[in-house]
Copies of this chain bind each other. A is one copy, B any other.
Amino acid sequence: MSDASARAGAVLTIDLGAVIANWWTLLARLGRGTRAAAVVKADAYGLGAAHIAPALADAGCARFCVATIDEGIALRAVLSRAEILVFSGPHAGTESDFAGHRLIPTLNSPEQIERWKKAARKANQFFAAAIHVDTGLSRLGLSPAELEVFAADREAQAAIDVVLLMSHLVIGEQPEHPLNRAQLDRFAAARRLLPGVPGSLAASSGIFLGADWQADWVRPGASLYGANPTPARPNPMAQVINLQGKIVQVRDIDAGDTVGYGATWRAPGPTRLAVVAAGYADGLPRSLSNKGGAFLGETRVPLVGRVSMDLMVFDVGALPEGAAREGGFVTLIGAGNTVDEVGAAAGTNGYEILTSLGARYHRVWTGVAGTEA
């Protein structure tokens, strides 16, 4: 039998060394006294939390953030010591999951505060939690008025050890947007209600707004994985992923021939096509149809026709005969074709490209000792 990489239609290489380099790049931007927690939700943005988180822990990261209890439980299984903060609060019936796996919930509503208070009193313990205050995203979190109620609730203070007061920026990737200052002011007002509690407002882009926004803890996610936290400026982050798609067939077509479902692309002249074994079921969005591209060596080859479920087609007619061959590879995502660029071509962002990376890829983690495939 063959090995898995010979069978796979595409090979996704994840450079753990680049993730760690990005971690250090971000740490170097922090003001004195600011610390960082790594966000590894959504399976570390699709790159494998069970690989990413231990590598970051080895590099000195001691606090991790996930979105859901299940992600927290899975992360605890590979990280015995680190602090794990879950952005979800305790929903009815899940209180014991947090305590049982030493996960810190984020209390987003008065109902969740009540539930956590009761759980703490029942256990006769002081239960850790983060408190989330909404400063303009209108998503999760207490309103400022609800935070005031909490701050005045002596029973809650006696039961809950507030380890963090957090909020989310709406548009941190646009440094000039007035909402950034408005949210900072609202967050400062919220912090005055809970004196002595560490604060956290900034994710990846927020770090680059400066020390005021960094507060006590920053929460980088996408930037660790190579997405540009400063879209208006060159990307300060190292490229983390490389996706090689296997050419499964090379075919010559004539002028006027159409390519793919719906016949949406017509060859202006005779050309050569490379058919690659990855499609939208692998997370390469169908919206890349007639817009995306790949690299064959140093040459960009345009994606022609619709992306299919399992396949996509590139026009390699500009290359010399033999440059594209069955069994060869094109770079679907890489240094010349970053997640941000692929996201832009697909009408979305690099975050969605990362979290959509497919289950059928052969995955290889490299870049730290012991990980070379």
Contact = CB atoms under 8 A, between A and B. Distances in A.
A216 interface: no
Given A91-B326, A171-B261, A1 B97 contact: yes
A140 to B, nearest CB: 5
A320 to B, nearest CB: 19
Given A88-B277, A100-B1, A309-B67, A139 B352 contact: no
A78 interface: no
Q: Which residue among A100, A246, A261, A348 has the maximum number of chain B CB atoms within 10 Å of its CB?
A: A261
Interface in A107-131: 108-109, 111
Number of copies: 2
- Top 10 nearest A-B pairs by Cβ distance? A42-B281, A281-B355, A67-B310, A138-B259, A6-B93, A2-B93, A7-B69, A2-B94, A286-B352, A286-B348
B355 A309 contact: yes
Contacts of A287: 287, 347-348
A146 to B, nearest CB: 9
Interface string A281-308: 1010111000000000000000001001
A262 B171 contact: yes
B310 A275 contact: no
B111 A326 contact: yes
Nearest to A71: B360
Contacts of A355: 280-281, 309
Nearest to A66: B310
Contacts of A249: 108-109, 139-141
A28 to B, nearest CB: 26
A251 B111 contact: no
B93 A258 contact: no
B138 A257 contact: yes
A41 interface: yes
B257 A41 contact: no
A134 B351 CA distance: 36
A255 interface: no
A275 B161 CA distance: 26
A161 to B, nearest CB: 22
A43 interface: yes
Contact of A1 (B1, B96, B136, B310): B96
A8 interface: yes
A263 B100 CA distance: 38
A4 B311 CA distance: 35
A277 B68 contact: yes
A257 B135 CA distance: 11
Interface string A254-268: 000111111100000
A171 B263 contact: yes
A359 interface: yes
Q: Which residue among A4, A70, A87, A140 has the maximum number of chain B CB atoms within 10 Å of its CB?
A: A140
Contacts of A8: 68, 70
Given A2-B96, A93-B2, A170-B261, A356 B283 contact: yes
Contacts of A229: none
A310 B41 contact: yes
A138 B253 contact: yes
A60 interface: no
Contact of A310 (B87, B100, B136, B260): B87
Contact of A313 (B139, B305, B309, B359): B139
Contact of A4 (B70, B88, B248, B263): B70
A179 B137 CA distance: 50
